[in-house]
Amino acid sequence: MVKKRFGWALSVLFAAGTLLSACGGQGGDNAGGKKEDTFSVAMVTDVGGVDDRSFNQSAWEGLQKFGKDNGLEKGRGGYDYLQSTSDADYPTNLNKLVRNDFDLIYGIGYLMGDAMKEVAEQNPKKHFAIVDTVVDAPNVASITFKEHEGSFLVGVVAGLMTKTNKVGFVGGMEIPLIEKFESGFRAGVKAVNPKATVEVQYAGAFDQADKGKAIASSMYASGIDIIYHAAGGTGNGVFSEAKDLKKKDPNREIWVIGVDKDQAPEGEVKIGDKTYNVTLTSMVKRVDVAVYDVAKRAQAGDFPGGQAIEYGLPENGVGIAPTQDNIPDDVLKAVDEWKEKIANGEVKVPTNRKEYEQFAATLK
C-alpha cells in the first residue's frame, strides 16, 4: 500500500514538472535569462564611449532602434552594449557578451580588429560583426564605408565657403581609415578651389577633447576659418574652441564640419538672447543604418559571415547631414553635381595621400 501511494506521488510530480517545462519553453526565461524565441544583439564600443556624440553613439542608436522595432528590452537576452575605456577592454568585453549568449555581437571601431579576430576564432559558432575594418573569419561580417566620398562632398562645401582660403583637418589617430577622410576632404576642397590650402593635424587619440581644442585654437589663430574633424570625442574640443571664439566675437565667421552623424546640436552657442551655430555641416556616416541592416539579416537567418559589406553614396551610407541651414543654395547645387559625378564613376575620389597627389595633378 505504501509503495502504491509513493508511486502515485512520483507520477504526479513528474507530470507537474513536465507541464512546467512546457510552459517555460513558450516565452519564459531560461537559465541564462534569455527568451528562447527572441534574437539578441549587443555591441562593444571603442574608447570614445557610447555618448561620444559621433561614431559610437550612431552605432548605439541603430542598435536601440532594432531592439525597439523588435520588442526587445535593454539587457541580457535583448539588446545592450559594453563600454571600453582602453584597448585592453576589447577582448574582455567581447568575451563577456559571448558568455551572456548574445546571438550577434558587434565590435565598433577599427582598433578592435585584432581582438575581434581572436575572440571569433575561439568561438566559431558565434556570430560577430565589426565596423570600419575587415576581419577575415567565416563567422564575422565586416562593415565598411566609403568615407572618402562623403568627405569629398563636405570638402566641396569648405572649398566654396572659405573666406580666407585656409581650411583645416583634425584627425584622431593617424591610421589608414582616417587617411580616407583626410584625402577625400582635401580632394573636394582642391576640386572647387585650387587656391585653398588644407592644414592637417592629428591628435593621436579619439577621446581627448582637450587636444582637439588646442589644435583648433592654433588653426583658427592662423587664419583658418573652417575645420573638418574626423576625431570622435576629440572633435568635441574643436566645437568647444569654435564656440568660445564665437562668444568673443559673434560677427566672426568660424565653422566646424562634424563627422559620422549630424552634429548641428554640438555647434549651438547662445550669446545674449540670440542663438548661433558654428556647425557648417557634417559628413554623415550611417553606422546606425549599417548596424540595423546586418542585425536584421542575421535575425532572418541571412547572416553575412565572411563578407565585407561596403556602404557608399548609392547605399546612402555616407553623405551630407540633413541640417543645411548655413549652406547657400548654390553650394548645395554644386554638392549635388559632384555627388552625381562620383556616383556615375566620372570622378574617382582618393582614399590615401598617394592617390590624392595623383588626383591633384589632374586638376592642374
Residue 132 contacts residue 117 (beta carbons within 8 Å) = no
Write the single-letter amino acid at 257. I
Q: Annotate 224-248 with DSSP letters as a single string.
A: --EEEEE-GGGHHHHHHHHHHHHHH
Dist CA 150 CA 298 (whole Å) = 27
Q: Mean pLDDT, consecutive 10-residue segments, the chain of 364 residues?
A: 40 38 35 60 91 87 97 97 95 98 96 97 98 97 97 98 98 96 98 98 95 98 98 95 98 96 95 96 95 97 97 91 96 97 95 97 88
Instruction: Provide the CATH topology of domain 41-145+288-311.
Output: Rossmann fold (3.40.50)
Dist CA 189 CA 160 (whole Å) = 8
Give pLDDT, residue 37. Answer: 62
DSSP H or E segment with residue 8: helix 2-24
Residue 246 contacts residue 108 (beta carbons within 8 Å) = no
Give the pTM.
0.82
Backbone angles phi, psi at 280, to 5 degrees: -75, -50
CATH class of this structure's domain 147-284+328-362: alpha beta
- Can 41-145+288-311 and 147-284+328-362 be said to share one CATH topology? yes
Give pLDDT, residue 17. Answer: 41
Give pLDDT, residue 364. Answer: 76
Kindly list the domain boundaries of the chain, sorted by start residue: 41-145+288-311, 147-284+328-362
Interaxial angle between packed helices 209-221 and 235-248, expressed in degrees from 0 to 180 and rounded to the nearest 10: 50
Q: Which of 237, 215, 111, 121 is nearest to 169 (CA)?
A: 215
